[in-house]
Structure 1
Amino acid sequence: MIKHNSKLLPLVSACLMGIAGMSNAQNNSTPPYTNLFADKTEYLSRDKDPLYPMQWHLRNRGQNAEATNGGDKNNDIAATNAHVKFRVLGESVKVAVVDSGLAIRHEDLAPNVLRGRSRNYADNGRRSTDPTPPRSETGGDHGTSVAGLIAARGFNGVGGRGVAPLAKLMGFNWLENQQYEYWVESHGGAGVTDDALVINQSYGFSPIWPVNFDSTDNLNEEDHLEDVTTSANNNRGIAFVKSAGNSFRYLRNTAGVASFNINRRRYTPDFIFSADSRDTNKTQAESLPAQVAATEPSNASFYHTTISALSAAESKDANGNKNGDLLSSYSTVGSSVWISAHGGEFGEDDPAMVTTDIEGCNAGYARNDQSTSFNDGTHPLNQGCNYTSTFNGTSSAAPVASGVFALILDANPNLTWRDAKDILAKTATKIGTNFKPITVETGSGEFVAEPGWITNAADYNFHNWYGFGRANAAKAVKMAKSNRYNPLPPVQNTGFIAYNGGNASIPEGPNGVEQSLRVRNDLTVEAVQVKLSINHGRDADLAIELISPSGTSSMMLTPRSMLVLDQSSRIDSQAANALDTQTNFNDTVLLSNAFYGEPAQGEWTLKVTDTNSGEFVFYGYRRDTREFTPIRTRNNNRLGQLTDWSIRIYGH
């Protein structure tokens, strides 16, 4: 995580042009719904939530959710089966939503909101228990929409339905006042959120430089997360569920930190786009991401479960044929992704997510996003503008996954957060099976930059885009309830084990440089971190792979990313200081989940490849001119140097 004086942002929308009645909330005393439904027929006929048929992520029957196109049948998380067949609704689980706010009196949230348990950090230090945003808010409230995806009250004949429709909600608007003290309090702090079993974090940061992981803030946060994930909730811990990001195509030039020399003039873009994103001959399935998830430090933490986003339907190739790619067009990806869940598209051409909004047609998304009739107050199911059909982003995917976590932890009160992660990996649905490896030309041969699906030595399937696959709530709940499931032993880690063989030059071309070290710890891998330092003239050229003793290779950093601060002609010193920037890899940490279940003991090999000996082109975009400008950079004039690296393995 960056310094706390550098504001993290809610990951609400990946659309660039988008950038251009109740009293006090209380615990509901209604008896558990699990006792009310004798069979599936009765369940489906009783108190239908009017918006549930639009919520394709729960049960996808091809509905369009007010978009032009519909989804693909059965491309969902099987939540309805989890509710119906196993009668698990999340009622024993508390979920904290750390975000921009939470409308605690919303008609479809209030029955699940815990009285007096939320916090408002934007009230001049008073810390009231009401984080409801002001009704003058014109952009919608991100946290309110996130909360609805997790736990909008189900079966009450109102609105829609959350993934865990009886889970208990708490809201913390930490994004409005990002003090470290408030971060601790809202992220498992004693007496405030330490009894939450799930904490949703639909926020993030997309750096255009490799971040130093060993800053004081990062280390303090890691210590806190290690503590609460092992000790909270009678040692069940807390599942911290994190959005991967919305930067597959572009990144923000945060605070205008980077300027580039274009025709001898200083050019400061608002956004930086990859060349692949501007190539009309390439589909997303043929493109490399602008951001790799783990370049944001919190996505490289073992204690966060990072979620990528899926669309309602497969994307199409240039001929209009579906190509098997289910990744949302904006979703950040990488080896730190654990699982994928639905985030949708933008709600006009293709379905977005139907969820809660600030109530009233003079507030919320209804006030500034009337791209569909559902949002403008004319739709018969949303005349009060209390809901939206255009919410999207990995900000949606994370709460969908949080809801599944809540179902798993409700299904079996003996499970820890790591058990829930383990179950998600074991029960995930493999998707995008038509994916073909993506290669780049290095100048002296092709290099496989994104291999797609791999099967590791423990027989787990893994993909940098989808993690272990699409979350399957029904299968996960079934496994959680089974007496055949064996919970994981306590977690251990090796600490960082350093390579001591000295520096190495990084040649240009597909062969790269390799260095190996031996791990003696007898562990079963859960995740592997690599900490490394590299001096190189063009960070975006680099590909970083790790190869396990079992022979599994994980691409931890794909090349052609928008780590381009080192190419700027001028770096704004004030912004750079606030953002704690650097232009080289200096104790930068990446994480991979691809080795899950493999033995840790043996020789691990790091491979660093300079994949580009020619010109590198990316694009700037300015909101004032609405123009894209190509930014051309020359090749580095010296070979890069791998100066230091180490690995840390978490396992049992």
Structure 2
Amino acid sequence: MYIKKTLLSCCLLGAFSSLAADHLTNSDPLTPYQWHLNNIGHNGLTTNTVAGEDLNLLNTDMQGIKGDGVTVTVIDSGIELSHPDLVNNVATGSLNLLTGTATPTDNTGHGTAVAGIIAAQANNNIGGRGVAPNADLVGFNYLDAQTMSNWLQSHGMPLTGSANSRVYNQSYSSKPALFKNVDADEHTLSLQLKERVMQQVSLNSNNGLGALFVKSAGNAFYQYTTFFGDTPFQVFPYEQQQPFNNAGLPFHNANLSTDNASFWNMLVSAYNANGKLASYSSVGANVFLTAPGGENAQSQAGIVTTDMSGCAAGFNTINSTIDILLQNTGLDSHCDATAAMYGTSAAAANTSGVIALVMSANPQLDARTIKHTLATTARKLDGNNAGVDINFTDANGDVVSYNAIPGWQQNAAGYNVHPFYGLGAIDVDAAVAMAQQTTALLPTLQVSDWHTANTELTIPDANVNGVQDTLAITDNLTIEAVQLKLSIDHTRMRDLAVELISPSGTRSVLLSPRTGLINATGIPVQNALLLSQHFYGESAAGQWQIRLIDTDNGTSQTLLYNEQAGLLSMNDTNNSVDGTVLSWSLRFYGH
């Protein structure tokens, strides 16, 4: 009897799973090609996918949980609000920040694609569908008008319009070549204002339920584009006479951007349809979760989503050879969709859609409890990824090895963490199941004072042991995130790795070596801000250790290219004197 019951249970489960898959896949013409929703091993456009590497939302969808009652603000290039697959999900509150009208015109298609990933309508026989197809959308074309006033309006202040949103999607990321001094007069006011606004909206909007700010980690693993004044430069590594050779390390660590080191921004990296880190995705200790971002769709699957209407607009005009994939299906004759969307922009949009689902599954949960639910239920992606080791010749002429990117490790609170994937890949069904059973909210958020060590320390050149210092912390907090503020005098910052080790022994590399950092001549790095998610759930109390390692004594180059300026070389001479740690400070967010 036991065997028969077990067989019957298995058969029923299998039948339910099959029914759920069919229900989702058949909802709209292009849903069979949306691998991020249901990856069956191919998506009909490319064959390079691995079954099961998706958001895992079939059971959630079968329950009818589709984001009802949740508004998502898309802070981007605008949205085509009249798009046939979006128009019925558009809420009031959108704003064109250039004209002051309620139609945030999208001139590139990026914001429209992001909006479609989040909440394109389902079961309307048009295109594909969004992760949360019943969620409401509000749009701002902030990327076209990036002033502080426009930032405030698009991020929920004053408490009108978008302040009703429970999710703010920021599918963009800056890529500075220099660390910003967060305590400098020219930055302090704007940074403090942004932090205060995000804190207010995160904790107190929506009658105390708050909101979540979701942000792309960036698309700069191998190279990046930055601006000196108004002039753009492409920046890329040059090692051992090979361009773009960076020994498997991220060239632009996600922690280099001050916005990415904010506690209030949930940073998301991207994985592809094979369940591996997407080739372009920025990474770092500040990544909270990873979500589907796809690849460029030439040989591996991109993300199918909405495009600006018509064949003469949006992605159709810049990626026509890719979008022909959809047009060849006969299901996109009006060019209202694209298969060419990819990036951490797509990963952030997927995450925002997921948050809308979890919020609609239990509308009584506040934003921090939702975030905690996603962290607790995240799955270990690419489980055999051991990180990245580099070899270098030390100051004594010996070849030594350094673990520059740690592999998967379980911290003392039982959370699996990795610089590529944060606390793991989002698992919608698991998160929704936990949310449905949750009644207690997280305790009130507490933010510690800065704890500072002012002792100057010498960083030995090309020495795998580096220099260490400790700081005793007495705050009795369960950690939600840790910030590090660091001042260093070093003439070649790209050589440095910065580690933080908790009292429980968890090791987090907040700054990986061989980055595209470019030193300002003769000016020390002052009050650079970095963040780690790797101590999530651990206790803050105890002895914390910082470790800085200089990983290179040879010549290397960072190349910069601009069409007018030509090809320039930086960082091509090793530092002639050892670097110095001037001060370091820790701040804890927790409960």
* TM-score, normalised via structure 2 length: 0.90
Per the alignment, residue 19 of structure 2 pairs with 41
Equivalent-residue separation in structure 2 for 1:232 and 1:524 (angstroms) = 24
Contact 1:361 1:377 in 2 (8 A): no
Assess, with a 3 A threshold, how the Cα gap between structure 1 residues 486 and 40 changes in structure 2: closer, same or farther. farther
Higher relative contact order (CA 8 A, sep 6+): 1
Equivalent-residue separation in structure 2 for 1:50 and 1:584 (angstroms) = 57
The reply on whether 1:519 has 2:473 as its aligned counterpart is yes
Per the alignment, residue 208 of structure 1 pairs with 177
Deviation at 1:45, TM superposition (A): 5.0
Equivalent-residue separation in structure 2 for 1:541 and 1:281 (angstroms) = 16
Among candidates 376, 379, 383, match of residue 429 of structure 1:
379
Per the alignment, residue 131 of structure 1 pairs with 104
Counterpart of 1:473 in structure 2: which amino acid?
V
Equivalent-residue separation in structure 2 for 1:363 and 1:178 (angstroms) = 23
The reply on whether 1:449 has 2:404 as its aligned counterpart is yes
Per the alignment, residue 54 of structure 1 pairs with 33
Counterpart of 2:491 in structure 1: which amino acid?
G
Equivalent-residue separation in structure 1 for 2:36 and 2:93 (angstroms) = 29
Query: Mean alpha-carbon deviation: is it higher for 433-442 or for 406-415?
Result: 433-442
What SS is found at the alignment partner of 2:360? helix
Contact 1:59 1:78 in 2 (8 A): yes
Per the alignment, residue 352 of structure 2 pairs with 402
Deviation at 1:437, TM superposition (A): 3.5
Equivalent-residue separation in structure 2 for 1:425 and 1:346 (angstroms) = 28
Counterpart of 1:295 in structure 2: which amino acid?
L
Assess, with a 3 A threshold, how the Cα gap between structure 1 residues 545 and 192 changes in structure 2: closer, same or farther. same
- List alignment gaps of at least 5 residues for structure 2: 1-15, 395-399
Per the alignment, residue 423 of structure 2 pairs with 468
Per the alignment, residue 580 of structure 2 pairs with 641
Map residues 125-274 of structure 1 onto 2, 5 A cutoff. 127-133=100-106, 137=107, 140-189=108-157, 190-214=159-183, 215=187, 216-255=189-228, 270-274=233-237
Q: Deviations over 1:535-586 (max 9, x none)?
A: 101010111011111111110000000002447xxxxxxxxxxxxxx95321
Deviation at 1:234, TM superposition (A): 1.4
Identity %: 38
Map residues 494-513 of structure 1 onto 2, 5 A cutoff. 494-500=448-454, 502-508=455-461, 509-513=463-467
Equivalent-residue separation in structure 1 for 2:90 and 2:296 (angstroms) = 28
What SS is found at the alignment partner of 1:119? coil
Per the alignment, residue 97 of structure 2 pairs with 121
Deviation at 1:213, TM superposition (A): 2.2
The runs of at least 4 aligned residues of structure 1 exceeding 6 Å deviation read 627-630
Map residues 314-325 of structure 1 onto 2, 5 A cutoff. none
Contact 1:276 1:288 in 2 (8 A): no
Query: Mean alpha-carbon deviation: is it higher for 404-413 or for 211-220?
Result: 211-220
Counterpart of 1:414 in structure 2: which amino acid?
Q
Map residues 360-439 of structure 1 onto 2, 5 A cutoff. 360-372=310-322, 374=324, 377=327, 379-439=329-389
Equivalent-residue separation in structure 2 for 1:272 and 1:39 (angstroms) = 47
Deviation at 1:524, TM superposition (A): 0.3
- Over the aligned positions, Cα root-mean-square deviation in angstroms equals 2.4
Deviation at 1:65, TM superposition (A): 5.2
What SS is found at the alignment partner of 2:138? strand
Equivalent-residue separation in structure 1 for 2:495 and 2:578 (angstroms) = 12
Equivalent-residue separation in structure 2 for 1:638 and 1:608 (angstroms) = 16
Deviation at 1:620, TM superposition (A): 3.7
Q: Deviations over 1:6-51 (max 9, x none)?
A: xxxxxxxxxxxxxxxxxxxxxxxxxxxxxxxx99738845962111
Contact 1:369 1:375 in 2 (8 A): no
Counterpart of 1:525 in structure 2: which amino acid?
I
What SS is found at the alignment partner of 1:143? helix
What SS is found at the alignment partner of 2:205? helix
Per the alignment, residue 292 of structure 1 pairs with 253
* TM-score, normalised via structure 1 length: 0.82
The reply on whether 1:103 has 2:80 as its aligned counterpart is yes
Contact 1:55 1:65 in 2 (8 A): no
Equivalent-residue separation in structure 1 for 2:563 and 2:269 (angstroms) = 27
What SS is found at the alignment partner of 1:130? coil
Assess, with a 3 A threshold, how the Cα gap between structure 1 residues 155 and 371 changes in structure 2: closer, same or farther. same
Counterpart of 2:504 in structure 1: which amino acid?
S
Equivalent-residue separation in structure 2 for 1:377 and 1:277 (angstroms) = 44
Per the alignment, residue 594 of structure 1 pairs with 534
Query: Mean alpha-carbon deviation: is it higher for 542-551 or for 435-444?
Result: 435-444
Q: Deviations over 1:294-337 (max 9, x none)?
A: 211111000000000011115xxxxxxxxxxx000000000000
Equivalent-residue separation in structure 1 for 2:443 and 2:386 (angstroms) = 37
Q: Deviations over 1:204-240 (max 9, x none)?
A: 1101111222322111101111111111011111100
Equivalent-residue separation in structure 2 for 1:281 and 1:176 (angstroms) = 31
The reply on whether 1:585 has 2:525 as its aligned counterpart is yes
- List alignment gaps of at least 5 residues for structure 1: 1-37, 259-268, 315-325, 568-581
Deviation at 1:434, TM superposition (A): 2.0
The reply on whether 1:615 has 2:590 as its aligned counterpart is no
Contact 1:188 1:238 in 2 (8 A): no
Per the alignment, residue 13 of structure 2 pairs with none
Among candidates 545, 550, 553, match of residue 504 of structure 2:
550
Q: Deviations over 1:607-640 (max 9, x none)?
A: 1111111212333445689x98876611101111
Equivalent-residue separation in structure 2 for 1:433 and 1:256 (angstroms) = 42
What SS is found at the alignment partner of 2:488? strand
Counterpart of 2:171 in structure 1: which amino acid?
S
Contact 1:56 1:65 in 2 (8 A): no
What SS is found at the alignment partner of 2:465? coil
What SS is found at the alignment partner of 1:242? strand
Per the alignment, residue 477 of structure 1 pairs with 432
Q: Deviations over 1:252-298 (max 9, x none)?
A: 1414789xxxxxxxxxx83111247996998x9x6100111121111
Assess, with a 3 A threshold, how the Cα gap between structure 1 residues 219 and 45 changes in structure 2: closer, same or farther. closer
Assess, with a 3 A threshold, how the Cα gap between structure 1 residues 278 and 374 changes in structure 2: closer, same or farther. farther
What SS is found at the alignment partner of 1:648? strand
